[in-house]
Amino acid sequence: MTFVKAMNWILLSHILKPGIPSYGNRDKLIIEHPSSLAYGNTANSSSWNFTSNHLGTHIDVPNHFFDEGMTISDYPASFWFSEKILLIDIPLEKSELITPYHLNDKVKSNIEVLLVRTGFEKYRHQEKYWNDNPGVAAETGFWLRKNFPEIKIFGFDFISLTSWKFRDEGKKAHKAFLDPIATGKPVCLIEDMSLKSVQNTVKQIIVAPLLVEKGNGSPVTVLCN
């Protein structure tokens, strides 16, 4: 395993800042400055108040939907790195559900990280991004787990696995991917990624979550080359 030079790495996470979109337009990031050099304090410091840990580019782990499921702090360090990545383009413009039909004949048997680029992130600064977003059908989770058991992470460039227009199906889809006892191993989900700058071939990927003990999910910094 050889790391490519740092200059070749690409950031796949959106920058966290006030006003970022959230699922259902419900959650926010509030940044305050309890001390500031500009006001004569010794140093600059900030407080970051996430009204949800599922905000911005973030990962869902099984404990998000299952009390007995693994948490952020349960995974070994090696889980967050892979050299077996596949990027698939599935252009979508509205609240369509991704099914096995979209992925059939495109997914390879030896991959660990599957990324789906729909191009929907171009709407990230519009209401359309959260109000008319694509989603993923529950059958897709079961299909991937059964047929591609090495997959451990599924990421995409729209706000949530759950389409706002198909919320009941979205709950089922989260369970299909994250259920700790269903056929195959659970697949963690990275939502709201930035994939517009990625080339068609991804050699390595690093997923760096905020390591909060027993977290059911976390903002993540994702890098690839």
Question: CA 12, CA 198: separation in Å to the nearest integer?
Answer: 8
Average pLDDT over residues 50-63: 98
Quick check: is 144 in a domain?
Answer: yes
d(CA 57, CA 15): 8
Measured between alpha carbons, how far is 15 from 30 in angstroms, rounded to an integer? Answer: 14
Average pLDDT over residues 184-206: 96
Domain with 78 in it: what CATH number? 3.50.30.50
Q: How many domains does the chain have?
A: 1
Q: Is the per-residue pLDDT at 82 higher than 70? A: yes
Query: Does any domain span residue 208?
Result: yes
For residue 4, pLDDT beyond 60: no
225 within 8 A of 1, measured Cβ to Cβ: no
What per-residue confidence (pLDDT) applies to 120? 98
DSSP 13: B
CA distance 92 to 54: 23
Is 70 contained in some domain? Answer: yes
Mean per-residue pLDDT, 124-128: 97
Residue 107, both tokens? 């997914």
Which residues span the domain enclosing 14? Answer: 6-224
Domain assignment present for residue 77? The answer is yes
Give domain status of residue 146, yes or no: yes
The pLDDT of 156-178, averaged and rounded, is: 98
pLDDT interval class at 199 (50, 70, 90): confident
* Residue 65 within a domain: yes
7-37: pLDDT as tens digits: 689 999 999 999 999 999 999 999 999 999 9
pLDDT cut 90: percent of the chain above it? 95
Question: End-to-end distance of the chain based on CA atoms, in angstroms?
Answer: 13
